[in-house]
Chain A
Amino acid sequence: MDEEIRRVLAAHGRLPVDAAGVGDGDDLFQLGLSSHASVNVMLALEDAFGIEFPEPMLRKSTFESVAAIHRALAQLLPTPAQS
């Protein structure tokens, strides 16, 4: 999943750094993710993972790091069927 998150960041985040080298916990806004680019990232994540971020997740903190995005997606993606 993190690989796909970084791919989205690289394609839509307009980061001044290489998204592949961003640490899980690095603050993306401090790295230069603009407010508007975060909207693009949000939409691209929704397309890539086939989900929609619900209202309570529509805050900057949801998109502040790869780990934060991972946590949000983990809540939204269907959990593997339990046997």
Chain B
Amino acid sequence: MSALPMTASAAGDAAEPQAALRARLFEAKLLYPLGVTGLYGYSATYQSILDAVDAMVTRWGTSLDAERIYFPPVIARSTFDHTNYLQSFPHLMGSVHIFTGDDREHRALLGRLEAGQDWPALLEPAEVVLSSATCHSLYPLVTGTLPAHGRYYAVRGTCFRHEPSVDPTRMQSFGMHEVVFLGEPADAQAHRDVGLAHGLELLSALGLVMEAVPANDPFFGRLGTALAVGQLEESLKMEGVTTICPGTPPTAIMSANCHRDHFGRPFAITTADGAVAHSSCVAFGVDRIAIALLQAHGLVPERWPADVIGRLWP
């Protein structure tokens, strides 16, 4: 529910064109394989596309007078506990573990390492977990009373989702840039709707063929499908999807999510008149957008259409 699993259906027969795209990105040295499926290094050229997409989102945020905050890839576990992410998506989250032992335990750790055994079993959970959605880090910062008419925030971070795939758009670690609103229920709903339209416009203007579809998050468990159906019925979350690899299901490269009081309540965020604040976010999957652009316009950004270049690097 919290923002954005940026889902693309991982249809089995879709794997081939996606693997081919990944191979082209490796060959062009835009992405570098890091030995684990879904984990990449990337080139300066790729980074420049991320920067341009980020700057585009920032310009929108600035027009809304949004406060800009950048977050690290890890989040306080005490914050994560309040997001309900573990209830809905335990299969996607990741935790950080650390070594807290003494000399003797260190020796045991190295003994396991040398023997090719399970050394992480000797570690302890840290006070941080990997961030699953950028906006999660924001909410504890705004605990308390919002100004009248609410507040916009533009937040940028790196997120982790454990869903290894040959599809290069389904990364384990990826950039997420969100424009979040907190305030009155009607205003939160309006940001979801207006923001969705604006986000689609921004991406369409980059030459991407966008479509808005109601989203169903990949909820965990045997009742997961039923939970997703509930989310669909209430149309709480919309995704902006585009077909990246012809012949494969469209990929969500942005999403617009109305959380209602899902975060306002646990983080004790209230409107100026003391009611529980509602929130909504429009999230851009920065890496997915970069890859969609590379696939749509070619692997050399200098040769992209002039109007696209003009919009990304004004």
Q: Which of B176-184, B200-208, B226-234, B267-275 contacts A (4 or more CB under 8 A)?
A: B226-234
Residues B57-103 near A (CB distance < 8 A): 84, 87-88
Count B-side interface residues using an 8 Å CB cutoff.
Answer: 11
B305 at the interface (CB under 8 A from A): no
Question: In the bound complex, how far is the Cα of B221 from the Cα of A55, in angstroms?
Answer: 11
> B221 is contacted by which of A39, A59, A60 (Cβ under 8 Å)?
A39
Size bracket of the A interface: 10 to 19
Question: In the bound complex, how far is the Cα of B84 from the Cα of A39, in angstroms?
Answer: 14
Question: In the bound complex, how far is the Cα of B221 from the Cα of A48, in angstroms?
Answer: 19
Question: In the bound complex, how far is the Cα of B221 from the Cα of A35, in angstroms?
Answer: 12
Contact of B88 with A58 in the complex, beta carbons under 8 Å = no
B223 at the interface (CB under 8 A from A): yes
Contact of A53 with B222 in the complex, beta carbons under 8 Å = yes
> A59 is contacted by which of B84, B87, B88, B226 (Cβ under 8 Å)?
B226
Question: In the bound complex, how far is the Cα of B222 from the Cα of A60, in angstroms?
Answer: 12
Residues of B within 8 A of A (CB): 84, 87-88, 221-223, 225-227, 229-230
- Could you list 19 examples of A-B contacts with CB < 8 Å? A35-B223, A35-B226, A35-B227, A35-B230, A36-B84, A36-B87, A36-B88, A38-B223, A38-B226, A39-B221, A39-B223, A42-B222, A42-B223, A55-B222, A59-B226, A59-B229, A60-B226, A60-B229, A60-B230
